[in-house]
Structure 1
Amino acid sequence: MLELALDYASKGYRVFPLWPDGKNPLIGKAGGGSGFKDATTDPDQVQAWWTKTPRANIGIAAGLSGLIIPDLDVKKGDDGPGNYRQLLSEHGLNPTDLEPVVVTTASGGFHHYYRGVPVPDRTKIRVGVDLRSDGGYVVAPGSVVNGKRYVGDLPHVEDLPVAPEALRELLVQEHGQEVASGGVQATGRETLAELLQFPVSEGSRNDWLAKVAGHYAKAGLKFEDYAFHVYEANQRCTPPQPDEDVAGVVDSIWRREREKADPQSDAFLSEVEQELRRLRVRRDAQRRLAEEGIQGTTEAGMFVAGGAFMFDIPDGTPAVWGEGRKVLWAEGEAMMLVGPTGVGKTTLAGQVVRARLGLGSGQVLGMPVAPTKSKVLYLAMDRPQQIARSLRRHFDRSEREVVDERLVVRQGPPPKDVARNPETLIELAIEVGADTVVIDSVKDAAVGLSTDEVGAGYNRARQMLLARGIEVLELHHQKKAHSDGSKPNDLNGVYGSAWIVGGAGSVVLLWGEAGDLDLELIHLKQPAEPVGPWSIRNDHVAGTTVRIEGADPLALLAQAADEGLTAAELSEEMGRDPKSEKDKQRSRRDLDRLVSDGLATKGQEQRGPQRAMVWRATPESAGRLL
């Protein structure tokens, strides 16, 4: 899709990404974007969007591109094309004289492309007849929705036919508007529909919102429904008013309209009661908007064509933390940090969060962390004050502006048990506009993790985040039933139902005693090649974690010099079990990668009483070690 999106942008169409196999904007308000308002012809931005999501469909912002597009639908038995022809004929227009550029939609309908001064985006001009222009967008040809493709050839915007003035007037006057040479103006009646069609920007937002609130207040709604609609209308403004200002409008207009009917209706309310009501309104409105956001976006992109599902994914494993074949945290897959209390899970997670915010070197334990331009939500459920002290060690006060803007922390247990209410996590993420969620810790998110019912419920909550494109980092602990105090060697040692680790893409064990400076990092479950095991060291004062040199296969091979190493010998040097065939196989893979990179050689030779494969470092490896 990248090549096609770049082609449209070069022709003057302002494009933006839609969900794969869907129509909804990929980056809406909840993800830190503005939907079709982010549309651009900038090739660098287009390249960035479609490199990150290669299968994203292409949206064209109609009004921003200077387009007027009648949208003729045939779904659900509608005869949009026939009703459109009848509409034109009723106003003396001959459809054959208009000569638009026609695109066939995935459902068998049609988009008629014209260029011209945009007019307001409208729906239901006639049954099956909509208008896409100022304030709207269309799905571009080449995109696929529900496995069916939009078909058509778009010329340069400047080569599109100009929309006849009679057509522009007809499409707008069907809804009682007056067409001006520079666009459309309201006739002055200012119905609710007209107000919502013409949202405003800074300078006029308060008056506009007060008029909208007046219409809703007179509609006989309950206070909660009235307030919700006003908060929702505010999202149409550019930019939306702050919640505190909207709360003031909500209260004052409601009070004004109630007093007209009953002057004593609000007189007895105390200041405290009014303030409590404001808080309840804001909380309920945010919750309901979040619920609408979930319903409106999580279904999009769930259904994709089989070929797109298999062949349009990037080569390799795109990483949040890692690179190449060494990935600790893969995009679209949850990463879980497991370990006993006090070994520094939050210390390590804090460093990853800092790098995710684009601060510092961008590397943790020598591996890059992909920065995000959105927000990180840190759910500090387990001993929030201790988490705060740990995180404070990672950040400098000079970075406070970035941290205040991009890192959101929620203290204490979740508002609902996550396993019983799987939508809870995505509601929280959407509410703050985060594309990364840190769960510290899993045991505090749901009660009864050892049961499959609870484990499956928690995993559903996790997968809802991932399906929405929100990355997940989890902190958890191992089982405490090891009587000999031994470390877990596999996923069976992680506490909880099999659903807990089964739904994670990567599971990393930090092993040691509480307060230990030197720890082991063991990759129990891998999205790509195994990482480590490593010996790492925590600096609890500076809040940093580093790898201890000597656990690198190439360094160990170089130290062996002419003697070389067998797979069993490397396993022993790296703290693996030299008698375990599984561990020896991991060592063979590590050594063979060095051979393929030209950093080692291998050959069969006598090793004691038996012949064995021996690897040796090449002279070229010295440059890599330096």
Structure 2
Amino acid sequence: MAARTSFTTALAGLAPDTPLPVAARLFAQAGVPVFPCAPGGKNPLTEHGFHDATADLRQVESWWRRFPAANIGMPTGSASGVVVVDVDVHGVNGYEAFRRARQTGLMNGWEALVRSPTGGLHIYYPAALTSEQPSWQAGRAGIDFRGDRGYIIVPPSRRIIDGETALYRLASLSPTPGRALDAAALRRFLDPPRPPRRLPERGSSPGRADPVKLAKWLGGERTDRNHKLFWASCVLAEEGVPYREALDAMLTVAQPDFGQREIARTVASGYKRIHGDAPRPRDSDTARATPGHDLDAGPVGRVASRGLR
């Protein structure tokens, strides 16, 4: 018969007023790796952040002797055996998307519900045993997924909100053990990929679809050019401008501090964002880009993609 995860079992034994050093020790004794974070905050206090998390009791006790008010961080994914759906309330109210996802059955199988100090909700599931579940964000839905290469702040940690102390508080425990979440299906539901667009005839998209005009505009910019280039690339992709035509125009902007490789990667990321597949480069394009670089994984692609979602 399936059992609860070690984390949920340990969490069920904590009271809201359990001292943080005691809670950290109890998690470690249950085999759950933890690490200290800033008192009243989220930033790790260890050199390598969640990579330093451990269930070694002596190390955990040493950390919390040094930082007795430290919040408790826990890596998510295979490291701890749990993943978390984080429903946010800042900017976008994630509860609306959460309700829609729950109606489809995609949210079934949770083990624990934790209220965050800011009014959000952390939904804990057992991690999948057979495959990696990378962390992701669905910004337009107001929901994040904390899986492999991520971490979460766990009860009874606390935050200082408007001068008041607010706890991460266990709200509910499932009466039965949980089951793994289909995180990929949830992401597709919350942030569906844009369907491929049929490219119009060359020259049929006036105005904002003029790559030369956009390139001239970028040539005069000196701030946030990577983000603006990504935006311009997405606009051209949406308007059906051929990738090579857009790239040729944008490469005219190249300057000592705004090189051809960076431009080529960013334009390709914009087209991939709109059409779903990376454009097929010419040999000359490939020579300008860094070999083996994931065009959608660099800092420009990540930051700009979040802004467009």
With structure 2 as the length reference, what TM-score do the two structures score? 0.50
Change (3 A) 1:255 1:121: closer
Q: Determine the structure 2 residue equivalent to 1:55.
A: 69
Does 1:161 find its partner at 2:178? yes
Tell me the residue number matched to 1:71.
86
Inter-CA distance 222–60: structure 2 relative to 1 (3 Å threshold): farther
Tell me the equivalent position of 2:169: 151
The equivalent residue for 1:495 is: none
Give distance in 1, aligned partners of 2:100 and 2:109.
Answer: 14
Q: 1:16·1:60 contact (CA, 8 Å) conserved in 2?
A: yes
- In structure 2, the CA distance between the partners of 1:93 and 1:19, relative to structure 1 (3 Å rule), is same
1:83 partnered with 2:97:
yes
Equivalent positions of 1:29-40 (< 5 A) are 33-40=47-54
Cα deviation, 1:397-441, whole Å, max 9, x if unaligned, reads xxxxxxxxxxxxxxxxxxxxxxxxxxxxxxxxxxxxxxxxxxxxx
| Aligned amino acid, residue 50 of structure 2 | F
Map Cα deviations across residues 551-608 of structure 1 (whole Å, 9 max, x no partner): xxxxxxxxxxxxxxxxxxxxxxxxxxxxxxxxxxxxxxxxxxxxxxxxxxxxxxxxxx
2:72–2:157 CA contact under 8 A, matched in 1 = yes
Instruction: Measure how far apart 1:153 and its partner are.
Output: 7.5
Residue 141 of structure 1: which of 155, 172, 175 is its match?
A: 155
One-letter code aligned to 1:39: A
Deviations 1:140-189 (A, max 9, x none): 1111112211111798xxx851224xx33313545689xxxxxxxxxxxx
Which structure has the greater CA radius of gyration? Answer: 1
- Aligned to 2:186, what secondary structure does the other structure show? helix
Q: For residue 152 of structure 1, give the secondary structure of its aligned residue in structure 2.
A: strand
How do 1:285-296 residues align onto structure 2 when only pairs under 5 Å count? none
CA distance in structure 2 between the partners assigned to 1:57 and 1:50 by the alignment: 9
Q: Choose the corresponding residue for 1:106, options 108, 117, 131.
A: 117
Give me the whole-angstrom Cα distance separating, in 1, the residues matched to 2:61 and 2:116: 25
1:65 match: secondary structure? coil
- Aligned match for 1:17, one of 30, 36, 52: 36
What secondary structure is seen at the aligned counterpart in 2 of 1:24? Answer: coil
**CA contact 2:110–2:179 (8 Å) conserved in 1:** no
Aligned to 2:275: none
Q: How does 1:481-492 map to 2 (within 5 A)?
A: none
- In the alignment, structure 2 segments of 5+ residues that lack a partner are 1-19, 194-249, 263-283, 290-309
Query: For the Cα contact (< 8 Å) 2:111–2:126, is it kept in 1?
Result: no
Aligned to 2:144: 130
Superposition pairs of residues 150-299 of structure 1, within 5 angstroms: 150-152=168-170, 161-164=178-181, 167-173=182-188, 224=257, 256-257=287-288
What displacement does 1:25 show?
A: 0.8
Query: Match of 2:42, as an amino acid?
Result: K
1:301-342 CA distance string (max 9 Å, x none): xxxxxxxxxxxxxxxxxxxxxxxxxxxxxxxxxxxxxxxxxx
Q: How many residues align?
A: 181
Give the residue type in structure 2 aligned to 1:74: V
Counterpart residue identity of residue 24, structure 1:
N
Shift of 1:107: 0.3
Q: Deviations over 1:97-125 (max 9, x none)?
A: 53431011010111000112241101126
Which runs of 5 or more structure 1 residues have no equivalent in the other structure?
A: 28-32, 178-216, 230-252, 259-626
The aligned residue for residue 14 of structure 2 is none
CA distance in 2, matches of 1:161, 1:52: 35
Q: Please list, as runs of the form range in 1=range in 2, the aligned pairs for 1:469-548 lying within 5 A after superposition.
A: none
Counterpart Cα distance in 1 of 2:185 and 2:28: 30
Q: Residue in 2 aligned with 1:26?
A: 45
TM-fit CA distance, 1:57: 0.7
Call closer, same or farther: CA 1:54–1:172 in 2, change over 3 Å.
same
Alignment partner, residue 105 of structure 2: 93
Distance 1:255-1:124 versus aligned 2 partners, 3 A rule = closer
Cα distance in 1 for residues equivalent to 2:170 and 2:58: 25
For residues 448-481 of structure 1, give each alpha carbon's deviation from its aligned partner in whole angstroms, at most 9, with x where no partner exists. Answer: xxxxxxxxxxxxxxxxxxxxxxxxxxxxxxxxxx
Structure 1 or 2: more strand by fraction: 1
Distance 2:45 2:138 in 1: 25
Cα distance between partner residues in 2 of 1:219 and 1:49: 54
Tell me the CA shift for residue 10 of structure 1.
2.1
Q: Is the 8 A contact 1:84 1:126 kept in 2?
A: no
Q: Is the 8 A contact 1:141 1:153 kept in 2?
A: no
Structure 1 residue aligned with 2:58, among 44, 49, 60?
44
**How far apart, in 1, do the equivalents of 2:144 and 2:155 lie?**
18
Does the CA contact (< 8 Å) of 2:115 and 2:171 recur in 1? no
Farther-moved stretch of structure 1 (54-63 vs 97-106):
97-106
Taking a change above 3 Å as real, the CA distance of residues 172 and 94 of structure 1, as seen in their structure-2 partners, is closer
| Deviation for aligned residue 1:36 | 0.6
Matched residues in 1 for 2:139 and 2:167: separation? 26
1:223 deviation in Å?
5.1
Corresponding residue for residue 6 of structure 1? 25
> Which secondary structure state, in structure 2, belongs to the residue aligned with residue 60 of structure 1?
strand
Amino acid corresponding to residue 87 of structure 1 in structure 2 = A
Q: Partners in 2 of 1:40 and 1:123 — Cα distance?
A: 26
Quick one: distance in 1 between partners of 2:76 and 2:288? 39
1:348-359 → structure 2 map (5 Å cutoff) = none
- CA RMSD, 1 decimal: 3.5
Between the aligned partners of 1:219 and 1:44, the Cα distance in structure 2 is 59
- 1:128 Cα deviation from its structure 2 partner: 1.3
Amino acid in the other structure paired with 2:166: K
TM-score normalised to the size of structure 1? Answer: 0.26
8 A Cα contact 1:120 1:135, kept in partner: yes
Q: Secondary structure, in 3 states, of the residue corresponding to 2:169?
A: coil
Shift of 1:221: 7.3
Q: Distance in 1 between matches of 2:172 and 2:54?
A: 17
Q: Which amino acid aligns with 1:150?
A: Y
Structure 2 CA distance for partners of 1:44 and 1:120, relative to 1, 3 Å: same
Structure 2 SS opposite 1:13: coil
Q: Deviations over 1:346-395 (max 9, x none)?
A: xxxxxxxxxxxxxxxxxxxxxxxxxxxxxxxxxxxxxxxxxxxxxxxxxx
Query: Which amino acid in 1 is paired with 2:80?
Result: S
Q: Which residue of 2 aligns with 1:478?
A: none
Does the Cα contact within 8 Å between 1:100 and 1:161 map onto a contact in 2?
yes
Cα distance in 2 for residues equivalent to 1:85 and 1:17: 33
